[in-house]
Chain A
Amino acid sequence: AQSVSQHNHHVILSEAASLELGCNYSYGGTVNLFWYVQYPGQHLQLLLKYFSGDPLVKGIKGFEAEFIKSKFSFNLRKPSVQWSDTAEYFCAVNPTGTASKLTFGTGTRLQVTL
């Protein structure tokens, strides 16, 4: 069975700082990779996803993530965070070619200070 590790549980940054959130997965086959975000009081929403092709994917709100197959990693990055990026971020995977269940990491709570 697959698993996802998010090593940063709580990150505090000042506005304009750069962000990188780690995500590593464990699975023997090929996977689809996702980052979801939950803003305070809102529902989970998709930030970006990787299925195949260019390993550097761009999502909404200036976020990007890089799939490094050799490291089983899919780290999320943003060059300059804003206060409005304060949220909880979840990395998730599912086996390629399926519409089946996602396996999530434990989430990273990001707090951006002014």
Chain B
Amino acid sequence: EAGVTQFPSHSVIEKGQTVTLRCDPISGHDNLYWYRRVMGKEIKFLLHFVKESKQDESGMPNNRFLAERTGGTYSTLKVQPAELEDSGVYFCASSQARGYTGELFFGEGSRLTVL
């Protein structure tokens, strides 16, 4: 079974540019989460999709961040325009809708460097 995949693994952009990160969850997982880790700090929740609907987006830093999950499959996270403080590792995770076991399955993360 394929795990959660994220693309790109590393992106280096200039301040003011736009970056789009993609996450493909495990097939059949309705729950999809985005998290972010800024260097040396805790992994912080950004938002949670259930299928194509945003269940909780309380962790989104500001309106420069836009997440979508069209058709309830893969998700994208766009940062526009990027700022220096957006640098970090963006993790995507997924879990099943029913029989919640508490386990989130994470991707390897997308490292974003804003210069």
Which of B31, B33, B42 has its CB near the most chain A CB atoms (within 10 A)? Answer: B42
Q: Write out the residue numbers on chain A whose beta carbons fall within 8 Å of the beta carbon of B106.
A: 36, 43-45
- Which residues of A are found within 8 Å of B4, using beta-carbon distances? 43
The 8 closest A-B pairs by CB, nearest first: A101-B45, A44-B106, A104-B43, A43-B108, A99-B100, A106-B42, A43-B106, A46-B103
* Chain B: minimal CB distance from A107 (Å): 7
Chain B residues with CB under 8 Å of A107's CB are 42-43
Interface of A is mostly: strand
The reply to whether B45 and A103 form a contact with Cβ atoms under 8 Å apart is yes
A90 to B31, CA, bound (A): 21
**Given A49-B101, A104-B44, 13 new contacts (CB under 8 A):** A36-B106, A41-B108, A43-B109, A44-B106, A46-B102, A90-B43, A101-B45, A101-B48, A101-B59, A102-B35, A102-B43, A103-B45, A104-B42
**Interface residues as binary, B1-43 with A (CB distance below 8 Å gives 1, 0 otherwise):** 0011000000000000000000000000001010100001111
Interface residues of A in 15-30 (CB under 8 A from B): none
Q: Which positions in A face B, CB cutoff 8 Å?
A: 4, 32, 34, 36, 41-46, 49, 51, 90, 92, 94, 99-107
Contact B107 A43 (CB under 8 A): yes
Q: List 11 A-B contacts (CB under 8 A).
A: A42-B108, A45-B106, A46-B102, A49-B103, A90-B43, A92-B43, A94-B102, A100-B55, A101-B45, A101-B48, A106-B41
